[in-house]
Amino acid sequence: MIAAVVGPSGAGKDTLIAAACAARPDLRLARRVITRPSDAGGEDFDGVTPARFAALRVGGHFALDWRAHGLCYGIPHDQLTGPSVIFNGSRAALPQALARLPDLRVILITAPAEVLARRLADRGREGSADIAARLRRAAFAMPPGIAHLTVCNDACLAQGTARLLAALQPDRGAR
């Protein structure tokens, strides 16, 4: 199983993914390559320059890649191997992801706008204008025809994690 976790900034994707991986040792997080400094905080990722990212892309290093929030994101081919892999993806990149990974399980993490705003402010990575822009993009709809499960992350970490773990169960149908 390969699962893409998508949703707006501040929904708690990285937090829930980390908790799910801790609860399920068989679940492996795909490490992303991102064009931002490795010490920028948040998830554990490989930070590269835009020029290095472009070279990796041209060289066919990525199974998936996309642009979002002025950055480039890529998932190397070798990160999508194994029986149970999860990655933090992009709603806009889902058509490309499903074309390359037809059995991809898609999970949309959501939270109310006031929760998103508080979380974005608390993480301290963006100024108020950037936070406002991310909140405007929070309502970005899933691309048409993308089957997915929705997890509302509006409560405590334990409850959000339980919801994500339930969505990862192979016997659950997508909607």
Q: Label residues 122-133 b or e (16+ Cβ within 10 Å = b).
A: eeeeeeeeebee
Report the SS3 class of residue 72.
strand
Other CB atoms within 10 A of residue 76 CB: 18
Nearest to 35, CA basis, from 46, 43, 25:
46
Q: Going by C-beta distance under 8 Å and a sequence separation of 6 or more, which residues neighbour residue 131?
A: 117, 120, 121
Q: What's the mean pLDDT in 40-44?
A: 66
Nearest to 142, CA basis, from 107, 171, 167:
107
- Whole-number Å distance between alpha carbons of 89 and 4: 6
The CA distances from residue 130 to 34, 69, 120, 124, 125, in Å, are: 18, 9, 10, 11, 9
Higher pLDDT, 61 or 41: 61
Residue 69: pLDDT above 90? no
Residue 173: pLDDT above 70? no
Helical pair 113-123 and 128-137, crossing angle rounded to 10 deg: 140
Q: How confident is the model at residue 75 (pLDDT cuts 50, 70, 90)?
A: very high
- Asked whether 20 and 103 are in contact (CB, 8 A), the reply is no
- Asked whether 3 and 61 are in contact (CB, 8 A), the reply is no
pLDDT of residue 125: 73
Q: What's the mean pLDDT in 102-109?
A: 94
Residue-level length of the chain: 175
